[in-house]
C-alpha cells in the first residue's frame, strides 16, 4: 500500500483509531513511522488536524519529528521520523 510518497514495509502497532507501520519514502528510501488513521466520526477530522498542528510545531530531541501528512481513500496518514 502507498500513502502519499510512502510505501508500507511492516506493521508496528495498532490502537483504537490508528495503525502504525514502518514505511519508506519511495523517492529517497528513508524509513518513516507512518500512522494511518480511520476517520470514522465527525470529530476525527478536527482531532487529526490538531495532532498534525501540534506535532508540526514541536521541536524537541525527545519528541518524534513530523514529516508530512495527507489523505487516502481509507482515511488520513501522518508520517514521522522512524525511531528504532
- Per-residue model confidence (pLDDT) at position 17: 84
Cell representation of residue 18: 490508528
pLDDT at 1 over 80: no
Taking the CB of residue 2, how many other CB atoms lie within 10 A of it? Answer: 10
pTM: 0.89
Nearest to 34 by CA among 78, 84, 83: 78
> Which pLDDT tens digit goes with each residue over 38-78?
999 899 999 999 999 999 999 999 899 999 999 988 889 99
Amino acid at each position: 500500500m502507498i500513502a502519499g510518497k510512502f510505501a508500507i514495509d511492516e506493521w508496528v502497532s495498532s490502537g483504537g483509531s490508528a495503525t502504525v507501520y514502518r514505511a519508506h519514502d519511495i523517492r529517497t528510501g528513508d524509513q518513516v513511522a507512518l500512522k494511518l488513521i480511520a476517520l470514522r466520526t465527525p470529530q476525527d477530522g478536527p482531532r487529526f488536524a490538531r495532532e498534525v498542528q501540534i506535532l508540526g510545531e514541536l521541536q524537541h530531541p525527545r519528541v518524534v519529528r513530523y514529516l508530512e501528512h495527507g489523505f487516502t481513500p481509507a482515511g488520513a496518514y501522518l508520517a514521522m521520523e522512524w525511531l528504532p
